Amino acid sequence: PRRDHDSPTRLDRPTRALRVMVASWFAACVVALSAASRVAGAACAVESDGVNWCQVSSSSTPSGINIAYALAPGAATLDVRVRATFSGAHDPGSVGWIALGPGSGMSSGEVVVASGGAGSTATYYQLTGQNAPSTACGGACALSAASVTAATGSRTVVVRYEDASASAGATKSFVYASSPSAWPAQHTTSRRGGLSINFSTGDATSMTMKSAIKRDVTHGVLMLVAWGVLMPTASAAPRMKFLFPDGKWFLMHQIGVVVGAVVFVTAGAMLLAEHDEREDAHSESSTFDAHSRIGIAVGFLWLAQFLLGVFRPNKNITDSARFGFIPSSWRKAWFLAHASLGPITIGLASVALVLGAVLIRDKYVGETDSGVKFLADGGVYGIMAAVWFVCAFGVWRDGFAKAKGGLENYVAREPTPSESNRNAREMRFTGITVSRG
C-alpha cells in the first residue's frame, strides 16, 4: 500500500506553487524589459553607445531628416538628447553645415552648428534674430553637450540639454537647418524647418514656418513701382512741359504722386500686416537694419512732401491766402523746400530699393522663384536706370536751367496776361477751382 506522503498530489503542490511564482516573476521581467525598451509607445532600443534611443516615425519627418531621442529622468529635470541625421536633400556635403536646437522659432533660443566635412565640430550659438548668428553662447549655453559624426552622404549631430519643464509624455519643439555652402552661408527656405516631437508616442508634427517669398517679392515690386517709376516720373513732370503742355504736367504730377502714394502705403501696410516674428526676425542683418531705417525716414519725408503739396501757397500774389492763412508771399520759400525735398526723398528711396534687392538676394539665395530672380538679379537696377535716364533726358530737353522751366515759373509776382490764360486752362483741365498753382 502507498503511504500518504508518497502521494503525487501532495508532493507536487509546493512545486507547482514555486513554478507559478517563478513563471510570474519571469513574465514580469519580460514586461519590464519590454517597457524599458519603449517610452510609452515609442519604438526604442539600446544602441552601441549604451543609450536607449527612441526613433521618431519616418513618416512624421521631412525627407532627408532622421530624428531619434533619449530621455533620462532626473531629480528635478529631464536629461534630453536629440539626434538628427541629415542626408539626401539635406545633405550638407563636404563643406556645408547643419544646425539643430530646441525651440519653436529661429529668432531666439540656442542651436548647435556642425560645419565642415569629416572634421566637423560642434559650435554653440545663441540665436539673436540675425540671419547668421555670430554670438556663441559658450559656457552660458543651456545646451550641455553635443557631438558630430560625418559620413559619406550624411552628417549626424547630437544635442543634449536639461529640460526642467519636459516630461516623458511631453511634446517639445525643435528647429533645424542645413546648407551645402560653408558656414555662415544662408540656408534656403526648403532647408530649414521645425518639428514638434511627442516624447510619448515618437510621432512628430512639422511646425508651420511659412515662407515669406510671395510677401517679400510683392513688397519689393510695389516699392519699385512706387519709388522706382511713379515718384521719379511725377517729380520730373513739372520739368517736362514739352511732353505735357497746357497744364497737363500738373495733372501728370498729381496722378504720379497720388498713385505712387497709394502703392507705397499698400506695400508698407502689407509688410506690417503679414509680419511673422519667427521668419522676419531670422532675416535681420546690418543690411536689413539700414533698409528698414531708411525706409522709415523715406516715409516721414514723403509725408512732409505730401503736406507741402497740399498746403502750397497760391501762385500769384493777387490771390488771397490759401486756406485763409497761407499767404502767396511764401510761394518762393515753399518752392525751394518742395523742390529740394523731392529729390532728397527719391534719392533715399533709391538707396532703400538697392538695399532691398540685396536683402532679397541674401535671404533667398538658391531660390528659383521668378520674382526673387527678377529683384535680385538686376531687375531693380535696370528699371531704376531706365526711368532715371528718361527723366534726366526730359529735364534736359525742357531746359531745366532756363527760365522756361526754372524758378521764375514759381515765384510770387504779378502774372502776365499769357500766364493768366495758361493758369486758367490748367485749372479747367485738372478740375482745380480752389487756386491757381
Cell digits for 247? Answer: 497744364
d(CA 65, CA 155): 10
pLDDT digits (tens, 9 = 90+) for 285-318: 788 889 999 999 999 999 999 899 888 888 777 7
266/281 same-domain check: yes
* Percent of the chain's residues with pLDDT above 70: 72
d(CA 228, CA 221): 10
Mean pLDDT of the region 331-343: 89
Mean pLDDT of the region 12-29: 55
Q: Which of 206, 221, 251 is the last residue of a domain?
A: 206
Q: Which of 157, 180, 206 is the last residue of a domain?
A: 206
What one-character DSSP code corresponds to residue 60? Answer: G
Quickly list DSSP for 177-204: EEESSPTTPPPPGGGEEEEEEETTT--E
Residue 36 in any domain: the answer is no
Residue 281 in any domain: the answer is yes
The answer to whether 100 and 112 have CB atoms below 8 angstroms apart is yes
Distances 295 to 278, 299, 352, 371, 433 between C-alpha atoms, Å = 22, 6, 6, 21, 35
> Residue 424: CB partners within 8 Å, gap ≥ 6?
436
pLDDT tops 70 at residue 49: yes
Residue 35 in any domain: the answer is no
Residue 376 in any domain: the answer is yes
Mean pLDDT of the region 111-128: 78
Quickly list DSSP for 334-346: HHHHHHHHHHHHH
pLDDT digits (tens, 9 = 90+) for 56-94: 887 778 888 999 999 887 767 788 899 999 999 898 888
Chain centre distance of CA 153:
30
d(CA 119, CA 93): 12
Residue 379 in any domain: the answer is yes
Q: Which of 173, 206, 239 is the last residue of a domain?
A: 206
- Whole-number pLDDT of residue 264: 95
Which residue range is the domain that position 294 belongs to? Answer: 213-430
Helix, strand, coil percentages in the chain from 3-state DSSP, rounded to 5: 50, 20, 30
- Whole-number pLDDT of residue 187: 78
pLDDT band (50, 70, 90) for residue 213: confident
Q: Count of residues for the chain?
A: 437
pLDDT tops 90 at residue 348: yes
Greater confidence (396 vs 223) lies with 223
Most confident of 245-259, 332-346, 415-429: 332-346
CATH at residue 66? 2.60.40.1210
- Whole-number pLDDT of residue 21: 59
Greater confidence (19 vs 100) lies with 100
pLDDT tops 90 at residue 435: no
What's the whole-model pTM score? 0.58
* Percent of the chain's residues with pLDDT above 90: 19
Cell digits for 264? Answer: 507705397
366/258 same-domain check: yes
Number of domains in the chain: 2
237/198 same-domain check: no
181/231 same-domain check: no
- Whole-number pLDDT of residue 131: 61
- Whole-number pLDDT of residue 10: 47
Residue 14 in any domain: the answer is no
Question: What end-to-end distance do the CA atoms of the chain give, in Å?
Answer: 140
> What type of residue is 138?
G
pLDDT band (50, 70, 90) for residue 226: very high
d(CA 389, CA 339): 19
Residue 28 in any domain: the answer is no
pLDDT tops 60 at residue 179: yes
The answer to whether 111 and 127 have CB atoms below 8 angstroms apart is yes
257/295 same-domain check: yes
- Whole-number pLDDT of residue 87: 92
90/157 same-domain check: yes
pLDDT band (50, 70, 90) for residue 330: confident
pLDDT tops 70 at residue 282: no
pLDDT tops 80 at residue 359: yes
The answer to whether 179 and 95 have CB atoms below 8 angstroms apart is no
- Whole-number pLDDT of residue 391: 84
127/85 same-domain check: yes
Average pLDDT over the chain, rounded to whole? Answer: 77
193/255 same-domain check: no
260/380 same-domain check: yes
Closest C-alpha among 131, 258, 277, 154 to residue 209: 277
- Whole-number pLDDT of residue 109: 76
243/388 same-domain check: yes
pLDDT digits (tens, 9 = 90+) for 146-169: 888 888 888 998 988 888 766 667
The answer to whether 168 and 40 have CB atoms below 8 angstroms apart is yes
